[in-house]
């Protein structure tokens, strides 16, 4: 459905994205992952038709978005990080206005309204003035405005930033429901969220695509790039620990910090999975190993592994 080729964009002399190329199938939920400045928002803005890229093409169902006239924007719904809301309006009035602004008749918007209110779980808020809503509900109204005109592509830039844990769980369901009726692109810093909701992940680094795939695929790729990260609680001195790890060739990053009386916390990144060797080296050197855990977020490992060397 969406085909991006050679997408490049410069802000003045500063490169935001370069030579991006990917395809996204219909009704797929794709996550955009990357550090700040990696080019996520720029890519999403181009896909939303807000900015015209310096080079490259974006085709939606074979139609070139850049060459197409403004009418084509009615096929796209976009939610930026800060939801664009007219706060003096009620939720209902606002959605009715945005639906018409996006090219639908008032009757069509009214007919679709109950479904959108239900999907976004804001039925009971429809007659409230937007200024009075909590941040979480404003986000939901933001999503509602992005889908009220029944777009084929919905772009959500950081849809869960600023939400509390309960709202995040609810928002996850909202995004999953969206995937049943349209293609969804999401960027998020909350990595677990990408794993929970997205069919595929696209990792951006310094304006270029570093990896594309499912979470499992990317996890394997990250391990190959040095994605195994361990945290130890040890009894010993930092000098002793450092000296012990010199014999472990796979230890590419080591950080030691005090962790109470006579204890240290060791963070180590391994280029390959040699955790037995690490433990053996520490014990041989006389360091007491009290605890060892693998960093628990699988996707975080992927993210850190893949973005190593990126300039944030």
Partner 1 sequence: MLVARRELAAYVNTYWGWTIIFVALLLDGLFFQALALTTTAQYSADVLSKFFFYTGGVALGIGVFVTMRLFAEERQTGTMVLLESSPLSDRQLVLGKYLSAMMFMGLVHVLTLYMPAMIFVNGKIGYAQIAVGYLGVMLMCSAGVAMGTWASSISRNQILAAAIGGVLVLLFVFCHWLAKLTDSPFKELFSSAAFYAKQFAPFEDGRINTENVVYFVSVTFGFLLLATQSLTARRWE
Q: Which residues bind partner 1 (CB under 8 A)?
A: 11, 48-52, 69-74, 76, 78, 80, 82-88, 97-98, 100-103, 145
In angstroms, what is the minimal distance from the CB of 51 to partner 1? 6
In angstroms, what is the minimal distance from the CB of 185 to partner 1? 14
Q: Tokens 């977020």 — which residue?
A: 297
Of 125, 177, 298, give the one whose Cα is nearest residue 228.
Answer: 298
In angstroms, what is the minimal distance from the CB of 128 to partner 1? 16
**Phi, psi torsion values for 244, nearest 5 degrees:** -65, -35
In angstroms, what is the minimal distance from the CB of 234 to partner 1? 49
Closer residue to partner 1, CB minimum distance, 22 or 97: 97
Which residues share a beta bridge with 157?
187
SS3 104: coil
Alpha-carbon distance of 211 to 261, in angstroms, equals: 43
**DSSP summary character for residue 307:** T
Q: Tokens 């969804």 — which residue?
A: 184
In angstroms, what is the minimal distance from the CB of 151 to partner 1? 10
User: Per the structure block, which two tokens stand in for 28?
Assistant: 């797929």
Closer residue to partner 1, CB minimum distance, 11 or 132: 11
Which residues share a beta bridge with 228?
270
Closer residue to partner 1, CB minimum distance, 49 or 305: 49
User: Per the structure block, which two tokens stand in for 264?
Assistant: 């240290």
Element (H, E) at 245: helix 238-245
In sequence order, which residues have a C-beta less than 8 Å from that of residue 19 and are 6 or more positions away?
A: 6, 7, 8, 56, 208
Closer residue to partner 1, CB minimum distance, 2 or 48: 48
Closer residue to partner 1, CB minimum distance, 26 or 82: 82
Closer residue to partner 1, CB minimum distance, 98 or 244: 98
In sequence order, which residues have a C-beta less than 8 Å from that of residue 129 and are 6 or more positions away?
A: 87, 88, 89, 90
In angstroms, what is the minimal distance from the CB of 45 to partner 1? 9
Of 227, 243, 224, 225, give the one whose Cα is nearest residue 282.
Answer: 243
In angstroms, what is the minimal distance from the CB of 76 to partner 1? 7
In angstroms, what is the minimal distance from the CB of 113 to partner 1? 17
Alpha-carbon distance of 145 to 128, in angstroms, equals: 15
Closer residue to partner 1, CB minimum distance, 152 or 225: 152
Sign, CA dihedral 43-44-49-51, equals negative
Closer residue to partner 1, CB minimum distance, 100 or 308: 100
Closer residue to partner 1, CB minimum distance, 83 or 227: 83
In angstroms, what is the minimal distance from the CB of 161 to partner 1? 14
End-to-end CA distance of the chain: 31
**DSSP summary character for residue 129:** B
């Amino acid at each position: 459905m969406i085909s991006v080729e050679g997408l490049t964009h410069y802000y003045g002399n500063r490169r935001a994205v370069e030579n991006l190329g990917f395809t996204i199938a219909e009704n797929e939920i794709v996550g955009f992952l990357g550090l700040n400045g990696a080019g996520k928002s720029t890519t999403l803005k181009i896909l939303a038709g807000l900015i015209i890229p310096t080079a490259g093409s974006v085709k939606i169902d074979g139609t070139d978005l850049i060459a197409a006239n403004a009418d084509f924007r009615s096929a796209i719904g976009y939610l930026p990080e800060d939801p664009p809301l007219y706060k003096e309006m009620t939720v209902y009035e606002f959605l009715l206005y945005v639906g018409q602004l996006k090219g639908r008749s008032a009757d069509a918007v009214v007919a679709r309204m109950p479904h959108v209110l239900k999907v976004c779980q804001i039925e009971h808020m429809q007659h409230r003035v937007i200024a009075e809503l909590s941040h979480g509900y404003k986000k939901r109204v933001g999503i509602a405005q992005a889908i009220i005109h029944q777009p084929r592509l919905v772009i959500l830039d950081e849809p869960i930033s600023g939400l509390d844990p309960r709202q995040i769980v609810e928002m996850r369901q909202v995004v999953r429901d969206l995937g049943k009726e349209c293609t969804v692109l999401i960027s998020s810093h909350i990595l677990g969220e990408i794993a929970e909701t997205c069919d595929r992940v696209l990792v951006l680094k310094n304006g270029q695509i570093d990896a594309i795939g499912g979470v499992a695929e990317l996890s394997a790729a990250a391990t190959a790039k040095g994605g195994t990260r361990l945290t130890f609680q040890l009894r010993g001195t930092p000098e002793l620990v450092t000296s012990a790890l010199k014999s472990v060739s796979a230890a590419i990053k080591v950080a030691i910090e005090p962790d109470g009386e006579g204890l240290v916390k060791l963070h180590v990144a391994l280029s390959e999975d040699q955790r037995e060797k690490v433990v053996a080296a520490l014990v041989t050197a006389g360091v007491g190993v009290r605890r060892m855990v693998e960093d628990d977020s699988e996707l975080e490992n992927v993210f850190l592994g893949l973005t190593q060397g990126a300039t944030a």
